[in-house]
Amino acid sequence: MSSTSVPAQPNQVDPARGAQQNAVVELMRIAPVADELAQRFAAAGHRLYLVGGSVRDALLGRPLTDLDFTTDARPEQVRTLLTGWAEAIWDTGIAFGTLGAVKRGATVEITTFRADSYDRVGRNPEVVFGETIEADLVRRDFTVNAMAVQLPAKTFVDPHDGAAALVARVLDTPATPEESFADDPLRMLRACRFVAQLGFEVAPRVLTAMREMAGEIQRITAERVQAELSKLLCGAQPRRGLELLVDTGLAEYVLPEVPAMRLAIDEHHQHKDVYHHSLVVLDQAIALEEPDNSPDLVLRLAALLHDVGKPDTRRFEPGGGVSFHHHEVVGAKMARKRLRALKYSKEITEAVAQLVYLHLRFHGYGKGEWTDSAVRRYVTDAGPMLSRLHKLVRADCTTRNKRKAAALQRTYDDLEVRIDRIAAEEDLRRVRPDLDGNAIMELLGLPPGPLVGKAWTFLKELRLDRGPLAPEEAEVELLAWAKEQGLQPPDRG
């Protein structure tokens, strides 16, 4: 165990020691809030430690805004100590010993030492408050999250050599990985997430345990799995996290459609398989994201899942070819089903399914053969997903033939120019019939009902085919349609 008070001047001889010192330097930068809180706890006879991800991120030089603390004070004592100091307090986690507060823009969470026990059937532990920092740290997920800094003395506490693991960029567990994952199987998914977020490797014994215990993830609720998966996908290197998810067998329970893609040969015969192709598309889609914006979860999910329909639609053609007819239709249904099972919101689920459904549409464009009507339909069907669809289609070009790749990109450039031109002329993002529902009912003498909806749809299709019509021309077309439907519009005399 390492428990040392270190000076603020770093000693670079020992990387782990230097990391400890850097953590204290970072802590001193945010010291006003942390020190004020520590002084209050010390005056009341309680110990307070900055702990977990806050210490890890300080060591990594990542910005600290949310601060995690642990203490020997019980929750009601913590509430008393926060009252009068914090600007706001919340106790939604008090059953697990956690209270939160805000002070001068900093969010703090303070949790009483824990020494929980698990029934290893569900995930929720029997909450037991502990007495020592050492007992609290040994129950944490990984050694890089099992470090603490005691305040106000700024004594570094590292009983499991987390600083050395951080320098080595290795994820290991304080207890044996079998014990840790049996207590909380979600930790296996968190390992994949940290690989994606931080670029770490998992220790060999952790990798072995993940492979042997992958099925235990079924104990975890879909909501918790989804939260970790989303963080993984929004990490700096999601491909690495996904590869670990697949290699350990966890994906068979979390996203089985992804490892299933290893069974399909890509139709271009230029990739190991569709799984590998999808990871390349994910990388390329991320590269097209706006640099100043947050990671685009919808785009990343769509890039990963755009070809999930290929295994179910694979056909071996005479002469040795392989086809995947209508895989975008099957894939959209599969993506929708999986995202619903993972409890993603309806908005995210439908957006991803629509992108999967539309990702092949562009390949009918040829060398620009689409009519303006086809361009309008492309834009209208994409709706608010158009910008993402542009990125997905471009990312889906993974051919190693540089000439072919350049030609595809130029063709898509041409499509985007046409979209911009027509949009400027017609405001494509708000394509609506040239007559509204009230005008339709008045012209045809109809009450509100399904026939009005059918007439509205007819006019919208006409608008997509021919562009904007003058009201008089739209009325003539609608009356002709009504006659074909056997309707008798009133005499307008």
Q: CATH number, domain at 84?
A: 3.30.460.10
Domain that holds residue 100: 2-168
Domain limit, last residue, from 146, 168, 190 = 168
Domain limit, last residue, from 233, 254, 275 = 254
With a cut of 50, say whether residue 12 has pLDDT above it: no
Pair (76, 214) in one structural domain: no
Question: What pLDDT is recorded for position 477?
Answer: 83
**Residue 297 is assigned to a structural domain of this protein:** yes
Global pTM reads 0.79
Question: What pLDDT is recorded for position 15?
Answer: 66
Out of 167-181, 219-233, 337-351, 386-400, which region has the weakest mean confidence (pLDDT)? 386-400
Pair (299, 235) in one structural domain: no
296-309 confidence digits (pLDDT tens)? 999 999 999 999 99
What is the amino acid identity at position 220? I
With a cut of 50, say whether residue 6 has pLDDT above it: no
How far is residue 456's CA from residue 321's CA, in Å, rounded to a whole number?
A: 44
Higher pLDDT, 140 or 27: 140
Contacts 24+ apart (CB under 8 A), 82-87: 82/110, 85/36, 85/37, 85/40
Pair (14, 141) in one structural domain: yes
Question: What pLDDT is recorded for position 271?
Answer: 41
Pair (395, 305) in one structural domain: yes
445-463 confidence digits (pLDDT tens)? 888 888 888 888 888 787 7
Pair (89, 177) in one structural domain: no
**Residue 132 is assigned to a structural domain of this protein:** yes
**Residue 489 is assigned to a structural domain of this protein:** no
Confidence of residue 44 (pLDDT cuts 50, 70, 90): very high
364-420 confidence digits (pLDDT tens)? 777 777 888 888 888 888 988 999 999 999 999 887 788 888 888 888 899 888 888
Confidence of residue 39 (pLDDT cuts 50, 70, 90): very high
**Residue 492 is assigned to a structural domain of this protein:** no
| Percent of the residues in the chain that have a pLDDT greater than 90, as a whole number | 50
**Residue 353 is assigned to a structural domain of this protein:** yes
- Within 52-154, where are the H helices? 53-60, 75-82, 133-138
Pair (206, 327) in one structural domain: no
Instruction: Confirm if 323 and 267 have CB atoms less than 8 A apart.
Output: yes
Pair (306, 337) in one structural domain: yes
**Two structure tokens written together for 249:** 């067998």
**Residue 491 is assigned to a structural domain of this protein:** no
312-358 confidence digits (pLDDT tens)? 888 777 776 777 778 989 999 999 999 999 999 999 999 999 999 99
Pair (464, 419) in one structural domain: no
How far is residue 88's CA from residue 154's CA, in Å, rounded to a whole number?
A: 26
Taking residues 45-61, report their average pLDDT: 90
Pair (181, 279) in one structural domain: no
Higher pLDDT, 115 or 375: 375
Pair (400, 442) in one structural domain: no
Domain limit, last residue, from 134, 168, 202 = 168
83-107 confidence digits (pLDDT tens)? 999 999 999 989 889 999 999 888 9
**Residue 206 is assigned to a structural domain of this protein:** yes
Instruction: Confirm if 6 and 24 have CB atoms less than 8 A apart.
Output: yes
Question: What pLDDT is recorded for position 99?
Answer: 96
**Residue 493 is assigned to a structural domain of this protein:** no
Count of the separate structural domains present in the chain: 4
Taking residues 277-291, report their average pLDDT: 94
Element (H, E) at 128: none
Pair (387, 448) in one structural domain: no
Q: CATH number, domain at 233?
A: 1.10.110.30
How far is residue 133's CA from residue 129's CA, in Å, rounded to a whole number?
A: 11
Average confidence score pLDDT of the chain: 86
Pair (411, 454) in one structural domain: no
With a cut of 60, say whether residue 430 has pLDDT above it: no
